Amino acid sequence: MSPPVRTKAPAWAIWLPLGLFLAFAALVTIGLFRPADRTVASTLIGKPMPAFALPPALPDRPGLGSADIASGKPHLVNIFASWCIPCRVEAPQLRALAGAGVPIVGISVRDSTEALTGFLKENGDPYQRIGADDDGKVQLALGSSGVPETYVIDGRGVIRYQHIGEIRPEHVAMILAKLQEASQ
Residues that bind another protein (CB under 8 A): 4, 38, 40-44, 81, 83-85, 110-112, 115, 134-137, 139-143, 145-146
In 3-state terms, what secondary structure has residue 167?
coil
Strands 75-80, 149-153: pairing is antiparallel
Per DSSP, the three-state class of 131 is strand
Q: Would you call 165 exposed, middle or buried from its count of C-beta atoms within 10 A (0-12, 13-18, 19+)?
A: middle
Looking at beta carbons only, is 96 or 136 nearer to another protein? 136
Q: How far is the CB of 106 from another protein (least distance, A)?
A: 16
CA 85 to CA 49: how far, in whole Å? 27
Whole-angstrom distance, CA of residue 121 vs CA of residue 163: 25
CB 163 within 8 A of CB 86: no
In the complex with another protein, which residue's Cβ is closer, 103 or 143?
143
Least Å distance, CB 40 to another protein, is: 5
Identify which of residues 11 and 36 has a Cβ nearer to another protein in the complex. Answer: 36
Nearest distance from C-beta of residue 1 to another protein, angstroms: 8
| Shortest spacing between CB 37 and another protein, in angstroms | 11
Q: Considering beta carbons, is residue 79 or 172 the nearer one to another protein? A: 79
Q: Which is nearer to another protein, 37 or 60 (CB)?
A: 37
CB of 30 to another protein, least distance (A): 20
Which residue, 69 or 84, is less far from another protein as judged by CB? 84
Kindly state the smallest distance separating residue 83's Cβ from another protein, in Å. 5
Give burial (CB, 10 Å; 0-12/13-18/19+) of 65. Answer: middle
How far apart CA 51 and CA 69 sit, in angstroms, is 10
What is the dihedral sign for C-alpha 65, 68, 74, 78? negative
